[in-house]
Amino acid sequence: MPPEPRDARRTAVSAEERGLLTDSPVMGANARDDRRTSAGRQRILRERRQQRPPGGWRGWSWIIVAVAGAVLLVLVLWLLRTRVPATFPPPAEGIEAYRRLAIRAGALTYAAPDGRHLAVETHLLPDQPTPEERMRALIEALLEGPTTALLDPWPEGASLLDLFLSEDGTVYVNMSGSVRARLAPGDYTEWLLLASLTCTLCENFPAVSGVRLLIDGESQGPLRRMMPLEWTYVPALFAEVR
């Protein structure tokens, strides 16, 4: 059979087939003769495709996919372990947790800008679990002073030492000696200070019936010159300055 034209052979053979048809050191004369015909080339291609081991990236693709999947799984597990704690803290104790987060409005009594009357500021304070602790927080906020143009009757350095609520509703408030030592002169200053303390506690706690002031644990003598510490003060005593 005469050989096919050279141009027909070039166009009929792909690059992959041309590689399979390339001479090898073990190729015999018969194989080289078969390349000259179409039927011979097809037979050679079939034999070499069956004998050729899988190679290139296609033969390793499933291994690459498996390794990548394993690496991704390990990465996800590591991220979850670092972001999620091994154990979670126990739940907070119901109402106690709520009180630590709750906010309570407190009406703090100070002197009006004219210095002759009382005025009220509303402050937001963290709630506390017991009435005594709420009273303590209220008085400490009162001692910090007003945030508006109201006048502060409390002297600088005044601090709360102790506080006790009796069964009859009387609150005993023990203040530091600086309240007496640094109080501004004037009888009306004593009046405004006791009005500030009494009205603040009684208006925020309806169960409070009166207030007793102690200075460094003492409850005898005047606060400074006029207001006696032996008295139990109630809001009605200060009605004329409200």
Looking at the structure, do residues 106 and 223 belong to the same domain, yes or no?
Answer: yes
Q: 34-44: buried (b, 16+ CB within 10 Å) or exposed (e) per residue?
A: bbeeeebbeeb
Residues 104 and 197 in one domain: yes
Helix (H, G, I), strand (E, B) or coil at 25: coil
pLDDT for position 90:
53
Same domain? 27 vs 118:
no
Domain limits at 41? 6-51
Tell me what pLDDT residue 52 has: 56
114 and 175 share a domain?
Answer: yes
Same domain for 45 and 154, yes or no, is no
CA 47 distance to own-chain centroid: 71
Give me the count of residues in the chain: 242
Tell me whether residue 37 is in a domain: yes
Alpha carbon distance 131, 166 (integer Å): 11
Can you say how many angstroms the Cα of residue 141 is from the centroid of all Cα atoms in its chain?
25
Q: Is residue 76 part of a domain?
A: no
Asked if residue 231 and residue 152 are part of one domain, the reply reads yes
Residue 147 lies in a domain: yes
Report the half-sphere exposure of 66 (CA within 13 A, side-chain side). Answer: 4
At 64 the pLDDT is 80
Q: Tens of pLDDT along the chain (242 residues)?
A: 455 454 444 445 555 555 555 554 444 445 555 555 666 666 666 666 666 555 555 556 777 878 888 888 877 777 666 655 555 555 555 555 555 557 778 899 999 998 888 999 999 988 888 999 999 999 999 999 999 999 999 999 999 999 999 999 999 999 999 999 999 888 789 999 999 999 999 999 999 999 999 999 999 999 988 899 999 999 999 887 66
Work out the number of other CB atoms within 10 angstroms of the CB of residue 196: 23
Q: How far apart are CA 235 and CA 242, in angstroms?
A: 10
Q: Total structural domains in the chain?
A: 2
Pairing of strands 160-165, 170-175: antiparallel
Domain annotation covers residue 231: yes
Whole-number Cα distances in Å, 5 to 10, 32, 41:
9, 17, 14
CA distance 224 to 126: 33
